[in-house]
Amino acid sequence: MPSIREWLASLGQSEYADRFAEHRIDFSILQDLTDKDLKQDLGIIPLGDRRKLLRAIAELAGAAPITPKHAPGSEPGQRDEAERRQVTVMFADLVGSTALAAGMDPEDLREVISAYQKCVADAVHHFGGFVARCVGDGVLVYFGYPYAHEDDAERAVRAGLDLVTVVAGLRTPARQQVRVGIATGVVVVGHLIPSGEAEERGMVGETPNLAARLQSIAEPDTVVIAESTRRLLGSFFQLDDLGIRSLKGIAGPVRAWAVLRASSVTSRFEALHATGLTALVGREQEIELLRRCFFKATDGEGQVVLLSGEAGIGKSRLMSAFAGLLAGEPHIRLRFSCSPQHADSPLYPIMDQIERAAGLAREDTPSTKLDKLDGLLKQTSTSTQDAALFAVMLSLPHDPRFPVVELTPQQRRQGTLQALTRQVEALARSCPVLMVFEDAHWADPTSLELLGRVVDRIEALNVLLIVTFRPEFKPGWVGKPHVTSLSLNRLARPEVGAIIDHIVGNKALPVDIRQEIIERTDGIPLFVEEMTKAVLEAESESEARRTAALVPSPALAVPASLYASLMARLDRLGPAKELAQIGAAIGREFSHPLLAAVAHKPEAELQAALERLISAGLLLRRGGVPYPTYYFKHVLVRDAAYSTLLREPRYALHARIAETLESHFTDISENRPELIAHHYREAGDVAKAVAYLSAAGDRALSDSALKEAYEHITQALQLISALPDNDIRRRGELKLQTALARTLQEQKGYADRQVGEAYIKASEFSKRLGDAGMHLAALYGLWAYHYLSGQPAAMLEQANEFLAFAEREGETGPIMVGYRLVGTSRLINGYIAGASDALYQALVRYDPDMHDAASPVGRSLRARFGHDVGVTMYSYRSWALWLSGQPADAEKAAESELERGQALERDDQSRLYALWHAGITYVLLRNVDKAAEIGSKLTELANDRQLRYWQALADFLCGWCAMRAGRAGDAVGLLQEGLQLWAQTGSRIFRPICLAFLAEAYAADKPDLAHRTFEEALRTASETGERWAQPEIHRLFADLLIRGGSSAEAVAHYEQAIAVAREQGSRSFELRATTSLARVLSDQGRHAEAYDRLLNIYRFFDAGRDAADLVDAKALLDGLSSSPQPGQ
């Protein structure tokens, strides 16, 4: 039976509960109260409140006992809204009622039915059940609604057994018998019919049907229960397994059990934990370990502790105790709390900590926020540059006191991470630092990257970093010498008792009840805490014993009995329960302004409800007036409140939250669109959820937070498929696919398979929509994918398609880009002459002013086609010029490319592009010093940005330089590492020539390996169709064969190199191969032949005679001309 406190809560009068308790008013004297008593003795002044109470008392006084509206103590009052709950349902039916009706006078039958119904009502009410409906001799009963109890399943079974006994004892002409069926499950229950005579609290779900069907198979005077109920009973009752049954209207087979009698167990612990307790350990050892680590840190040996444990095991409680232990020690504490709703919000826990440390308030003006931030940072003498980065991170406007942050998103991201790391270092120089990073399993990738940097840096700092997380999170720092892993086990009985004593305080708690809690909670602190509080809130010792009786099974993640315990506490909140549901929908944590805006309640009522939630121990408050933040003490508390919401009200609530965030919290809308997307998704508004996820993806991509961008965009793509298949949806999909491709290409490289798939889809969507601009962007993406994945034929086909489409559209910029793509593709395929023509056509359309990086046209082309067009105009043109025999012009083009790239300080991708392509031009020119200089710059920039794609290319360049400098060992290491990185990106372009470089490096002391590697290089070129470097690979292979004494085979490779180069129109490679062959011929005494063949190619070069290859050729020609000819 509900308590007076619960009854008052159901009426919305919880504030008077203590007064009723003080005057010892229970249901036995409730009906004797008068208006004067309420006003003068109980001090209830508002007339409306007194009238509500008197009306409710009158309803209790004059009701028939069987109707749900008047069941004593069961009136839900204002709790009429339907909700989702776990309920145990009992269905009871009188045996033989049809025959009884046929043989009795209707008035006599009425007396029998009335007596039977009274028996049901008495038995049910005694065990706290609720009679929902009576139809003749059939009675439907709920346990767990309108008020939950921790032991509802047990109560239902005991009520059923009691009913069998009392019905059998009815004084009727013939002995009466009853059948009872019981089942437990999740249902929708409440007022399902808005008005009219049918006022019973209806229920929807399989559970009531199952209870009714189980009743139909029960023998007379028998209680039959479902498996779902049996699992909650432990060994409280002796049961008879009725086996698997097929029941009409119930999907699938059902296991049924007949209840024989209550068991004579010695304790509830024995009943609920027949398998015994798991071995438990205390917390003293953990505290001591943390203490030792702290004092090591204070001595300059920075420490990291990885603290793991299941939900509710007490990680946060341990942190609180450790903080208390250090209260007398000088130190700085930094606390970072992750949130499940911000797992994709870059640096959320860090920004949250800084905002709290600086005291930033939502109502502060930007100037005030900057003042507060400045004041905080001055404590550590933070540089103005770092302070500016922090202001940008917090989305604060520029202020003259800080320098302007003119960095690319990637630079800004890296700079911010470095600044945050320096901040920790600065704090550690002034005082020992305790850093607590809580719930890392909800951390965003950028915060985890920062955490990794801190872990690596603090070994020599006065810092103790503690990272807490659930077991599913796998940190990557295990095994480092300054890192300690600590896993929390469940508590031993003495520690459980200490928690109970702390919660109980000076209140009286019988020894056996205290022991019962220890026995039942299995050492999980959350269960101990929640169960103890539920016991203390019980109105009587008998209810307290029942409350302590059932505890969660440790085998379940969220045990049904813990859910019931939490629901019992929520049910006592009265109107505050609605606020708990609103807060639960917002999230684990919510601000006062947001809650107030969503709840639409008067401030006084809102404050009263919040105080009720806080006093009940469900909410904690952080921060002071006027705008504190509230958070659920445990995730499971939040989940329990949220789970009661039905779908439609839940949708409406999330929609209200999202709309409130949009209209009243523009800073969140702009800076955390993923949060609004979450609420629209939960509201079922897919279109708006997709729009905000798309915005979140764009924002993350602009900040180079690539992992977060990927998550947002893929979530949006999953959702958008639910929208109607029309042009609006297709435009959205096109935008998302393009954004996904951009994200993946920056994250994994252009050659990744997913990049290709994304661009194929984007191409299909843009073509269907007739969006020329987006279609060209998608075609460019596909071209880049085929280029880097080593598919030259497909690349050329894609380039021709791009150019044809651009010419049809008639836009100069894309036409210029199209010629560049065609020229590049022809070059890679080995069509050097055609490549030169196309690249020239691109260059003549290039206008340095119109296509400048700062111009609108230049920015548009950069955004659509990946790189600065000025850089790309010169890149492959410099290669084509060299290959076609114009080394001087090639060097000029490379210099122009480098100059253009150097000017693009904020465009990392274009700078890297310029460095690589110019570097290879100098490799072709055999200018080792210049290539080495460029390689060093490329390495530095690629490593700083942590871009594997460019790191691999830098290794290729530096490896070639090392080999030419005589450092074969270094060359092998660099080239092997580069090829590994290159393979990880999925790229295959340039692999043949880089394998040739590696083979040349092997040649010094591993000729056999060099031989195999040259063969692999030629095989790869043949397989992929990347033919431009084939002549050089044949020539280098021939050089190896000459050194090994295989002159005939070497000559064949030289001849092949010359033939392929001549076919391609690659005069420089033809000259180089002919020069090598001429040396061999000369060594064989064939001086005239050598001279003639070399002269025939040399005379084609009319400029750039100071290039290395031409100098070598001229020197050899001079030597051959003075050599004795045959017959002389």
pLDDT tens across 211-254, in order? Answer: 999 999 999 999 999 998 998 887 889 999 999 999 988 888 99
Judge whether residue 559 has pLDDT over 60: no
pLDDT number for residue 1093 = 96
Question: How does residue 59 score in pLDDT terms, banded at 50, 70 and 90?
Answer: low
- Provide, rounded to the nearest whole percent, the portion of the chain with pLDDT above 70: 88
Counting Cα atoms < 13 Å in the Cβ hemisphere of 382 gives 26
The superfamily in CATH containing domain 73-264 is Nucleotide cyclase, GGDEF domain (3.30.70.1230)
pLDDT in tens, 1049-1079: 999 999 999 999 999 999 999 999 999 999 9
Q: What pLDDT, on the 0 to 100 scale, is given for residue 421? A: 93
Q: What is the mean pLDDT of residues 483-499?
A: 86
The CATH number of the domain covering residues in 4-61: 1.10.150.50
Mean pLDDT of 316-320: 82
Second CATH level (architecture) for the domain 576-645: Orthogonal Bundle (1.10)
Residue 70 DSSP code: G
Q: What is the CA radius of gyration of the chain?
A: 40
Gap between the Cα atoms of 675 and 658, Å rounded? 8
Q: Would the pLDDT of 274 be above 50? A: no
Residue 18: pLDDT over 70: no
Per-residue pLDDT tens digits for 357-395: 898 887 889 899 999 998 988 888 888 888 899 999 988
Fold of 284-487: Rossmann fold (3.40.50)
- Distance from C-alpha of 219 to C-alpha of 223, rounded to nearest angstrom: 8
What pLDDT, on a 0 to 100 scale, did the predictor assign at position 277?
32
Rounded-to-integer distance, Cα 408 and Cα 157, Å: 68
CA 1107 to chain centre: 56
Q: How far apart are CA 1006 and CA 985, in angstroms?
A: 28
Exposed, middle or buried: residue 102 (CB in 10 Å: 0-12, 13-18, 19+)?
Answer: exposed
pLDDT band, very low/low/confident/very high, at 73 (cuts 50, 70, 90): very low
Q: What is the pLDDT of residue 409?
A: 84
Distance (Å, whole) CA 961 – CA 1000: 12
Q: What is the pLDDT of residue 496?
A: 84
Reading the block at residue 661, the tokens are 């965030």
CA distance 208 to 206: 6
Render pLDDT for 925-948 as a digit per residue (tens, 0 to 9).
999 999 999 999 999 999 998 888
Per-residue pLDDT for 284 more than 90? no
Q: Name the DSSP letter for residue 40.
A: I
DSSP string, 264-310: --S-HHHHH-TT-PPP---SHHHHHHHHHHHHHHHTT--EEEEEE--
- What is the spatial distance between Cα 882 and Cα 366, in angstroms, rounded to a whole number? 57
Reported residue count of the chain is 1128
